[in-house]
Structure 1
Amino acid sequence: MTYVKPTELVQSVIDAGASKVLLSTRDTIVRSIMGGAILTIAAAFAVTISVTTGSPLLGAVLFPIGFIMLYLLGYDLLTGVFVLAPLAWLARRPGVTLGGILRNWGLVFVGNFIGAFAIAVLMAIVFTNGFATAPNAVGEAIGHIGEGRTVGYAEFGANGMLTLFVRAVLCNAMVATGVVLAMVSKDVIGKIFAMWMPIMLFFFMGFEHSIVNMFLFPSGLLLGGDFTIVDYLIWNEIPTVLGNLVGGLAFVGIPLYLTYGRPSTPRRVRPSKRERLAAAAAVDAPAPADREATGASV
């Protein structure tokens, strides 16, 4: 399998970030709708596996399928552009401005929400036989997830908000790593394997992903979860978006750019004591003519 070294990898990340910022509104919206839809179908798939098999680990192992599919197709997630776009700005790519980055983030957020909400409605129809029956076991589980990750945090006040924010930071530390690792190989198998690892980790650890939550919480409300839209926004989505932004930049984007994204001056190595003594002796040694004269006098 091919391997792209970190210095080349960061340049690929910067190129990708510039292309995202400069992409047309139509293409950005379409790609982000599809990204949100594919990722959240995978989330429904993972919850279904966890409930029907009783193995959350198996659900986490298979959840990355959705992430892999959407990135191989070039679709967008907010958690990914949180890292890609700022690196293009730091590298001063032509046309990449702070306004352009905010525009990109806003469009991707809207597109991801449309895609995720559409899947939430469609899956709610599946889980309730077109709203004719009570939610099945998977639907009930999704409703309880919505309760636990909203009012469950609210019960602990500021401590709950801190926990939510930290889970969101750690989530995008992993997801952004997966986004970058998608470029670490030039063949499909290498890309799949590289992306799989961090995405599996974030899902099994229960970290907070703003796009997955765009599916889980509307689904939970549709399926009878005991929380409100305000609970969802205040006690999950808004802090999760902010935490995802911080985690992606602090743990992935900025460290990679600082160490690989710009030329650095090699560290000046101080000569050892032996080397300094040898250099001093060479300076004090007589010139060749002096040595000849000394030899003649002897």
Structure 2
Amino acid sequence: MTVGNGTGISNGANGDGDDFRSHESGIKVELGGIEAEAQDIQNARIYHDHHFEHGIRVTADEATGPSRKATGMLGMRASANIDANAGVKSIGAVSLGTPMPKWPAGHQSAAFEAVAVKKSFILSPAEIYAECAHHGEEKSKFPWYKIWTLTIIAGCYVGFGYSTCLLIGGNLKQAPGVGNETDYNYGLFKLVYGAVGFPFGFTTIVVCGAELYTSLCAYMTAAWWEGKVGILDVLRMLAISWTGNFIGCALMAGLLKAGEVFDHKDTTLLRQVHDKLSHGWGAVLVKGIFANWLVGIATWMANAAQDLTGKAVGIWLPISAFAMIGFEHCIANMFLFVVAWCQGDYITAKQFIWHNLIPSTLGNYIGGGICLATVYAIAFGSPPRKLGNWIDKKLKRN
């Protein structure tokens, strides 16, 4: 097997073991005792130490000696004989073989397995669940400044997406209240309204890196079902993300007001606010469930896809559906109501908090945490196995 430093790997194994040859440096590493079929792997990359917990790699310090220990791919260990005189002056942090991202000990990355071993750019349903449960655990370990930064910026991204909906689709003459009654076309208005704005905002959150309360409902619940986090970790992450998202939404609303972005273009904005307040508490709760069920599906599909195009398409389908239908997303509502206040609309705190924010927040958790994460925990996770083992023990005792 030949190793490229950041460009690719080709298979050249012989019967005596795996033979790794670097295209550029000629480093030859003999790995013995690894009982694994040689694979054609094409995605070797350069990583730094903080990206790893295990995986074959060599650093500049490790390259100075004639013999070093290397951790094999997929957790296997082997002895690596490195010829330091083969023309390598400084390698930095370079992988020998395809590296594995940082995972807990004994954990296999579903994304790594799919891309490096199966040559697939999409995970299976069971792999998606495992990946999301792992992400929930990793996110729970974020330091406080990282959580706050990523949740606040997520609120800003929601503001960008919602503003796109309101200012583009919301100003069509087919939108309610904008043009003449003869021009009114609810279907066309909703199609344009939901086609770009919200998918753009959520794609930015996923790809650029930000933390949204509604996504964490799914991540943290999956991690809890797998015993990776405790209930206090779940509550802490949801509380921090909710408040951080609010700060980001309020910050974005204030900046948009300072820029006079919605001045004379707020007809659809104000109509939507009062429409949301016209529904009962239970109706908002149910629409909140539907909203984060779809947003959770987008989260799931974004984790399934391992390239930018796949993530964008996987996000666009459910997010555009949620926006077009008009379900209740608590973070989006934070932005909408604060912008309405900035535009001078009179809405009481009780109307906003009790009649919309509380039921939509609870509904969003049910949609992401129960309808999505818990369903797939039952289908693919450890709870059914644990329950089955417990029942078997009880039956054997009787």
Structure 1 and Structure 2 fold alike (TM over 0.5): yes
Shift of 1:51: 2.4
Q: Cα offset for 1:140?
A: 3.4
Task: Go from structure 1 to structure 2 and tell me whether the alpha carbon gap of 1:228 and 1:30 turns closer, same or farther (over 3 Å shift).
Answer: same
**Cα distance in structure 2, aligned partners of 1:145 and 1:127:** 19
Residue matched to 1:65: 200
- Structure 2 distance, partners of 1:221, 1:205, is 24
Q: Percent identity?
A: 24
Of residues 196, 199, 213 in structure 2, which corresponds to 1:78?
Answer: 213
Q: 2:75: which partner in 1?
A: none
Instruction: Please tell me whether residue 124 in structure 1 is matched to residue 257 in structure 2.
Output: yes
The structure with the larger Rg is 1
Alpha carbons of structure 1 residues 259 and 163: separation in structure 2 relative to 1, 3 Å: same
CA contact (8 A) 1:147 1:225 kept: no
Answering whether residue 313 of structure 2 is matched by residue 193 of structure 1, we say yes
Partner of 1:30: 149
Structure 2 CA distance, aligned partners of 1:177 and 1:83? 9
Instruction: Name the counterpart of 2:268.
Output: 141
Kindly state the Cα deviation for residue 56 of structure 1 after the two structures are TM-superposed.
2.7
Match for 1:142: what amino acid? L
Deviation at 1:226, TM superposition (A): 3.5
Report the Cα offset of residue 185 of structure 1.
Answer: 1.3
**Aligned partner letter, 2:195:** V
Q: What number of residue pairs does the alignment pair up?
A: 250
Aligned equivalent of 1:180: 300
2:245 pairs with one of 104, 112, 120:
112
Partner of 1:290: none
Q: Deviations over 1:125-154 (max 9, x none)?
A: 33478xxxxx312x233122222212x12x
Contact 1:174/1:202 (8 A) holds in 2:
yes
Whether the 8 Å CA contact 2:286–2:363 is kept in 1: the answer is yes
Determine the C-alpha separation between the residues in 2 that align with 1:128 and 1:202: 25
The 1:140–1:229 alpha-carbon spacing in structure 2 relative to 1, beyond 3 Å, is farther
Q: Give, as a single letter, the amino acid of the residue that structure 1 aligns with 2:353.
A: L
Shift in alpha-carbon separation, 1:85–1:128, aligned structure 2, 3 A:
closer
The verdict on how the C-alpha distance between 1:126 and 1:141 changes in structure 2, with shifts beyond 3 A counting, is: farther
Q: In the alignment, what sits opposite 1:282? A: none
Establish whether residue 227 from structure 1 lines up as the match of residue 355 from structure 2. Answer: no
Kindly state the Cα deviation for residue 213 of structure 1 after the two structures are TM-superposed.
Answer: 0.6
1:176 counterpart letter in structure 2: G
**2:303 aligns to what SS in structure 1?**
coil
- Which of the two has greater helix per residue? 1
Residue 4 (1) aligns with residue 123 (2): yes
Q: Larger relative CO (CA 8 A, sep 6+): 1 or 2?
A: 1
Q: What is the match of residue 179 of structure 2?
A: none
Distance 1:161 1:260, change over 3 A: same
Mapped partners of 1:82, 1:167: distance in 2: 16
Q: What corresponds to 1:91 in structure 2?
A: 226
Amino acid at match of 1:136: H
Instruction: Confirm or deny: 8 A CA contact 2:288 2:327 kept in the other structure.
Output: yes
> How far is the alpha carbon of 1:105 from its aligned partner?
1.0
Classify the secondary structure of the residue corresponding to 2:209. coil
* Runs (5+) with no aligned partner, structure 1: 130-134, 154-159, 266-298
The answer to whether the Cα contact below 8 Å between 2:292 and 2:367 also exists between their aligned partners in 1 is yes
1 or 2, which has the higher strand percentage? 2
> Is structure 2 residue 372 aligned with structure 1 residue 252?
yes
Displacement after TM superposition at 1:113 (Å): 0.5
Once residues 248 and 25 of structure 1 are traced to their aligned partners in structure 2, the CA distance between those partners, rounded to angstroms, is: 24
Q: d(CA) in 2 for partners of 1:264 and 1:252?
A: 16
2:286 aligns with one of 162, 166, 190: 166
The code of the aligned residue for 1:66 comes to: G
Alignment partners' CA distance in 1, 2:352 and 2:383: 44
8 Å contact from structure 2 (residues 226, 383) kept in 1: no
After the TM superposition, list the runs of 4 or more consecutive aligned residues in structure 1 that deviate by more than 6 angstroms: none
